Structure 1
């Protein structure tokens, strides 16, 4: 009986640690990023997304994969792994949060702000929205 209780306690601690680690890794943009408004009009979003797809294929696909699922060959050795851009967690973020992340990068993700123009970064955000 004592071994069983010790096993359950150990398992509970392990699960608690794992969930803390997973929550710890969730990448959150600062609150101010939510206020960034996508400057691309609804009428122009399809064209913007097409431009974003081209950028994605040359800059992002190596790590995020062809369908944006985070399974690209370049991301296999990265920690944390590239995000699955089709996930509800990513898609639920506002455009400003995604733009901030593309702009600033994190860990092994490149900081695209100095490399891509502001319009190009919004194009990437608009493309990511098509990956649902």
Structure 2
């Protein structure tokens, strides 16, 4: 009986190790044309207010009020939502954030077709409206909120 328990434990450990390794080997690759994009929308009060409204609608349930991945739906997911306050996240280019919002990854859906006026914006641009830029500006504001406290 002890051998069976030990064997089961070893199998579970090996399975967990492989799952962790495969998770680490699944980076979110961003095409080069997006890496170089700069957000054309200034991070002014109007942009941040619009971005907050959009964030509340599209992102809040998983990423939470504080942007740390602590939304109500986060506990039901297999992968923890990204923490927007981390330096490693904030160091990404505006275009990388845009691409990730548009394309999705793992359990995060892509929002390209859900963002009004931007259905054709996967061409490596911020699209025809301010909306994607507003969302990127608001997501960037989480790091500034942390620095102020």
TM-score range, shorter chain: 0.7 to 0.9
CA RMSD of aligned residues (A): 2.5
SS of equivalent to 1:38:
coil
Within 2, Cα distance between the matches of 1:127 and 1:121? Answer: 10
Corresponding position of 2:32 = 31
Greater share of helix: 1
Within 2, Cα distance between the matches of 1:46 and 1:35? Answer: 25
- Give the alignment partner of residue 135 of structure 2, picking from 121, 124, 129: 124
CA apart distance, 1:65: 0.6
- Is the alpha carbon distance of 1:106 and 1:75 closer, same or farther for their aligned partners in structure 2, counting shifts above 3 Å? same
Deviations 1:17-44 (A, max 9, x none): 6874553244232222112221114xx5
Within 1, Cα distance between the matches of 2:18 and 2:59? Answer: 31
Gaps (5+ residues) in structure 2? 1-13, 117-126, 144-149
Within 1, Cα distance between the matches of 2:99 and 2:67? Answer: 18
Corresponding position of 1:103 = 102
Within 2, Cα distance between the matches of 1:28 and 1:37? Answer: 18
Gaps (5+ residues) in structure 1? 1-13
SS of equivalent to 2:59:
helix
CA apart distance, 1:50: 1.5
Corresponding position of 2:87 = 88
SS of equivalent to 2:76:
coil
Deviations 1:72-125 (A, max 9, x none): 111212122110011111101010000110111112212111111342122110
- Is the alpha carbon distance of 1:30 and 1:116 closer, same or farther for their aligned partners in structure 2, counting shifts above 3 Å? same
SS of equivalent to 2:100:
helix
Aligned pairs, number = 119
Which has the higher mean CA deviation after the structures are superposed, 45-54 or 24-33? 24-33
Corresponding position of 1:64 = 63
